[in-house]
Amino acid sequence: MKIRSLAAPFRSSSRNNVLFLSTVFLFMAYATDAQHSAKGDMATEQKIHALISEMTLPEKVSLLHGNSKFNVSGIKRLGIPEWALSDGPHGVRAEVNRHDWAYAGWTNDFATCFPPGTALAATWNPALAYKQGLVLGEEARFRKKDILLGPGVNIIRSPLCGRNFEYISEDPLLVSKMAVAYIKALQSKDVAASVKHWLANNQEEHRDSIDVTMSERALREIYLPAFKASVMEGGAYTVMAAYNRFRGEWCSENNYLNREILRKEFGFKGVLMTDWSAAHTTVKAALTGLDLEMGTDKKDYNEWYFADPLIKAVEEGKVPMSVVDEKVANVLRVMFNTKIFDEKRREQGRMNTPEHQQAAYNAAAEAAVLLQNNGNLLPLHFDKIQSIAVIGDNATRKHCSGGLSSEVKALYEITPLQALQQKFGARVKINYARGYEKQSTFREGNNSGQSGSLNVNWKLIDEAVAVARESDVVLIFGGLNHDFDTESADKQNMDLPYGQEILIQEVAKANPKTVVVIIAGSPVQLAGIVHRVPAIVWSWFGGMEAGNAVVDVLSGKINPSGKLPFTLPVSLAQSPAHALGNFPGSDLKVNYEEDILVGYRWFDTKKIQPQFPFGYGLSYTNFSISQFSTDKTGYGKNETIQAKFTIRNTGSVYGAEVVQLYVSDPLCSVLRPEKELKAFQKIFLKPGETKTVEMPVKVADLAFYDESKKAWNTEAGDYILQLGNSSRTIFQKVKISVK
Ligand code: BGC
């Protein structure tokens, strides 16, 4: 329908004239764009050119759309193999049937399951993201996959977004650092990353129809940086266009995003693919830079927008052959980059080795955030404990297989109760009580399955109180599960579901030595429990080694070093999108009115006290941070500030601190956030050990996006560098000036 309206512009309405003219414009824009991307490795470009010159139009087009759920056809006579794609960000997904969504029932696809995005981010350790990328690359190669559909780098804008657990943080720098490390490692194993979801897929509600608008400044400062870093620093070979619209246009055919920003500004020469079933047109999508259509439910693959209709569009002159050639070149370039044509493609792959499992354990162990530890109740000294009450559905629930497209068929998954039994069961009496029951059901695209989430089961609470009373210490494993943290539906609220708040309050009355462990991938409200229990650990969805990691943290074998990658509000109403009433939008439109004030940028600027701030997390040891200085006091705009500080582990156990450098610009021509993260480093120290650490910050990174100039602007004047271990705990400040 839409194709026809473009083809007959002069007989129809003025609206169609506009459509036609914009198509002509896009067509012309393409020609100039094609010249831009003609750079690169000449030898490879020549090979690409030679291959394309051998292809018929149907052969070319066969490379531009799926031929099954996760494959793209090759061209046998030219030696181009079929392409194999796979989800997902924290484990290689089990094999799905070629033509439907059922699992194929293979026996060799049990994968290593890592803790998902927010957990990885809570480690604040890009080296772990790098290690995860290596493992995923090896496992993807073992499964003969060419592209892994991750990482998910959308900003956590609201505590309610169902996919927050897969994403990384509310802060663009933290997302960028983790994503770049992950992508570089993954691609070093000859597997292409697919950075998703481009762009503004910050909610699941109406994700396939919502139209997102935001200021250019919010786009540049908050929502683009992680994609930019993924492409420009990480060198991501593919990008996945989101389902939603951005400023009125579908992301899969958005000229501004796809040609102006991704191709021209970022210099992206890889493949822009759709999310599964996110294409809407043939001609417009083709002209605006989409390369690959994936995942529609149309049974006949030839009917897809980028199949027969694309051939027809070329034959009718609506899409120039050069546009098709450019897409094919992008596909071939990714194939060359991932060494698909090499006899000895470097990485043959490995699956679920002890080293892979160790990497999953390390990530889970470093992710745990100690939120509260009154009276140093933690670590628990199991040698002095006779009995322990273990309470909560999450003590026994496995989570790797949930969340939809990111679900992983883990080789095994250790639950907290299993780990406790295995590590201490012989010496300590473990009294388990369920405490609360999972009453929700997952319903795709509809979160009403969560509506039973507040029912209190008094029988289970009574049982829990009884075991709490007869035990020395209590561990409650609560939080969420993937009925809440999931693709395709947002949470309805930030509550701890199934009456857990009441459970925790009652149990704590019965036994004040109660430790709460929150297993969740997105913020939940803790206001009802923080004053009732002495100790709270946030241990995320922890992947296949979840139980081992959290128990090692509770027992002190591991000293917690995780920090919150998002602000934990006291209540939902505090957080920006909700305070302003623009989540999830109305009439299928959402305007990001909070603008650049996302996450701690909002809380700190508006002086709102959250429950726990961004970057926050305690340790079993103490650190002293001092001698914060810079190499100079005045800098030019192209210089780098060499900041430096000394850190000492003043406690008695080994541990790690994440030192965070925030910058404020107190006098600026536009509103700036109270502070913004500009650098961070995780530093590991033995007891008594001291290190002097350098933390460079480019003056250019102090800039804001100046809408009046349509450019980044580092205004001359004073800036305050603030060194701390959360956005609300600042130890030292240094003033510098920019000339
Ligand atoms: C998700 C993507 C995923 C794709 C393939 C889509 O529904 O949004 O993140 O990679 O499915 O499973």
Mean pLDDT of 548-557: 98
Nearest residue to 330 via CA among 24, 71, 32, 60: 60
Can you read off the two tokens belonging to residue 486?
């999931």
CA-closest residue to ligand 1 atom 6: 276
Mean pLDDT of 726-735: 98
Marked catalytic residue, from 275, 485, 490, 665: 275
For a pocket test of ligand 1, which of 167, 194, 487 has the largest count of ligand atoms closer than 8 A to its C-beta? Answer: 487
pTM over 0.85, yes/no:
yes
The phi-psi region of residue 474 (left if phi > 0; otherwise alpha if psi is between -120 and 50; otherwise beta) is beta
Could you give the strand order of the β-sheet that contains 655-664, starting from the edge strand earlier in sequence? 634-635, 729-738, 717-726, 655-664, 676-685
Mean pLDDT of 260-264: 98
Q: Is 276 in the pocket of ligand 1 (CB under 6 A)?
A: yes
Q: State the closest ligand 1 atom to the C-alpha of 243, by its place in the atom list counted from 1.
A: 8
pLDDT of residue 241: 98
Compute the distance from residue 77 Cα to the ligand 1 centre, in Å: 31
Compute the distance from residue 204 Cα to the ligand 1 centre, in Å: 12
CA-closest residue to ligand 1 atom 4: 276
Q: Is 90 in the pocket of ligand 1 (CB under 6 A)?
A: no
Compute the distance from residue 238 Cα to the ligand 1 centre, in Å: 14
Q: Is 87 in the pocket of ligand 1 (CB under 6 A)?
A: yes
Q: State the closest ligand 1 atom to the C-alpha of 152, by its place in the atom list counted from 1.
A: 9
Residue 21: in which H helix or E strand, if any?
A: helix 14-36
pLDDT of residue 17: 40
CA-closest residue to ligand 1 atom 8: 275
Compute the distance from residue 278 Cα to the ligand 1 centre, in Å: 10
- Is residue 281 over pLDDT 70? yes
Q: State the closest ligand 1 atom to the C-alpha of 150, by its place in the atom list counted from 1.
A: 10
Q: Is 196 in the pocket of ligand 1 (CB under 6 A)?
A: yes
Q: Is 275 in the pocket of ligand 1 (CB under 6 A)?
A: yes
Compute the distance from residue 87 Cα to the ligand 1 centre, in Å: 7
Share of the chain above pLDDT 70, in %: 94
pLDDT of residue 31: 36
Q: Which single residue is written with the structure tokens 């994403």?
A: 167
Q: Is 405 in the pocket of ligand 1 (CB under 6 A)?
A: yes
C-alpha 623/C-alpha 650 separation (Å) is: 5
Compute the distance from residue 703 Cα to the ligand 1 centre, in Å: 35
Mean pLDDT of 449-465: 86
Q: Is 674 in the pocket of ligand 1 (CB under 6 A)?
A: no
Burial (CB count within 10 angstroms: exposed 0-12, middle 13-18, buried 19+), residue 285: buried
For a pocket test of ligand 1, which of 206, 405, 444 has the largest count of ligand atoms closer than 8 A to its C-beta? Answer: 405
C-alpha 60/C-alpha 49 separation (Å) is: 12
Compute the distance from residue 56 Cα to the ligand 1 centre, in Å: 31
Q: State the closest ligand 1 atom to the C-alpha of 488, by its place in the atom list counted from 1.
A: 7
pLDDT of residue 16: 38
pLDDT of residue 454: 67
More confident site: 21 or 269 = 269
Three-state SS letters, 481-528? CCCCCCCCCCCCCCCCCCCHHHHHHHHHHHCCCEEEEEECCCCCCCCC
Q: How far is CA 339 from CA 20, 50, 174, 466, 697, in A?
A: 40, 17, 30, 61, 36
CB 352 within 8 A of CB 111: yes
| pLDDT band, very low/low/confident/very high, at 451 (cuts 50, 70, 90) | low
Q: State the closest ligand 1 atom to the C-alpha of 242, by its place in the atom list counted from 1.
A: 8
pLDDT mean across residues, the chain: 93
Residue type, 580: L
Compute the distance from residue 580 Cα to the ligand 1 centre, in Å: 30
Q: What is the pLDDT of residues 672-699, one digit of tens each?
A: 999 999 999 999 999 999 999 999 999 9
Cis peptide before 151 (omega within 30 of 0): yes
Q: Is 177 in the pocket of ligand 1 (CB under 6 A)?
A: no
Share of the chain above pLDDT 90, in %: 91
C-alpha 25/C-alpha 18 separation (Å) is: 10
Q: What is the pLDDT of residues 314-357, one digit of tens each?
A: 999 999 999 999 999 999 999 999 999 998 786 789 999 999 99
The phi-psi region of residue 599 (left if phi > 0; otherwise alpha if psi is between -120 and 50; otherwise beta) is left
Sign of CA dihedral 360, 361, 364, 366: negative
- Is residue 36 over pLDDT 80? no
CA-closest residue to ligand 1 atom 7: 276
| Those residues with Cβ within 8 angstroms of residue 277's Cβ, 6 or more apart along the chain or in another chain | 294, 295, 296, 297
Can you read off the two tokens belonging to residue 99?
């033509």
Write down all domains in the chain, each with its CATH number in brackets. 354-566 (3.40.50.1700), 623-738 (2.60.40.10)
CB 208 within 8 A of CB 278: yes
Q: Is 93 in the pocket of ligand 1 (CB under 6 A)?
A: no
- Is residue 5 over pLDDT 50? no
Q: What is the pLDDT of residues 582-613, one digit of tens each?
A: 999 999 999 999 999 999 999 999 999 999 99
Q: Is 202 in the pocket of ligand 1 (CB under 6 A)?
A: no
CA-closest residue to ligand 1 atom 11: 276
* Annotated catalytic residue 595: no
pLDDT of residue 68: 96
Mean pLDDT of 12-38: 39
Q: Is 163 in the pocket of ligand 1 (CB under 6 A)?
A: no
Backbone angles phi, psi at 419, to 5 degrees: -65, -40
Mean pLDDT of 64-75: 98
| pLDDT band, very low/low/confident/very high, at 11 (cuts 50, 70, 90) | very low
Q: What is the pLDDT of residues 391-443, one digit of tens each?
A: 999 999 999 999 999 999 999 999 999 999 999 999 999 999 999 999 988 87
CB 665 within 8 A of CB 703: no
Q: Which of 65-79, 149-163, 403-417, 445-459 is predicted with the least confidence, judged by mean pLDDT?
A: 445-459
| pLDDT band, very low/low/confident/very high, at 15 (cuts 50, 70, 90) | very low
Q: State the closest ligand 1 atom to the C-alpha of 196, by its place in the atom list counted from 1.
A: 9
The C-alpha angle 635, 637, 641, rounded to 5 degrees, equals 45
- Is residue 75 over pLDDT 80? yes
CB 716 within 8 A of CB 700: no
Q: Please, what's the largest Cα pairwise distance for the chain? A: 87
CA-closest residue to ligand 1 atom 9: 405
| Those residues with Cβ within 8 angstroms of residue 654's Cβ, 6 or more apart along the chain or in another chain | 559, 621, 684, 685, 686, 687
CB 226 within 8 A of CB 173: no
- Is residue 524 over pLDDT 60? yes
Beta strands in 133-221 (DSSP E): 147-148, 192-198, 211-213
| pLDDT band, very low/low/confident/very high, at 8 (cuts 50, 70, 90) | very low
Can you read off the two tokens belonging to residue 11?
């007989």
pLDDT of residue 449: 79
Q: What is the pLDDT of residues 620-666, one digit of tens each?
A: 999 999 999 999 999 999 999 999 999 999 999 999 999 999 999 99
Compute the distance from residue 243 Cα to the ligand 1 centre, in Å: 10
C-alpha 355/C-alpha 371 separation (Å) is: 30
- For strands 535-538 and 514-519, give the pairing: parallel
Q: 590-626 burial string, b = 16+ CB within 10 Å, else e? A: bebbbbbbbbbbbbbbeebebbbbbbbbbbbbebebe
- Is residue 10 over pLDDT 60? no
Compute the distance from residue 106 Cα to the ligand 1 centre, in Å: 21
Can you read off the two tokens belonging to residue 330?
């992008």
More confident site: 455 or 423 = 423
Q: State the closest ligand 1 atom to the C-alpha of 87, by its place in the atom list counted from 1.
A: 10
C-alpha 708/C-alpha 701 separation (Å) is: 19
C-alpha 648/C-alpha 691 separation (Å) is: 6
Q: How many CB atoms lie within 10 A of CB 206?
A: 17
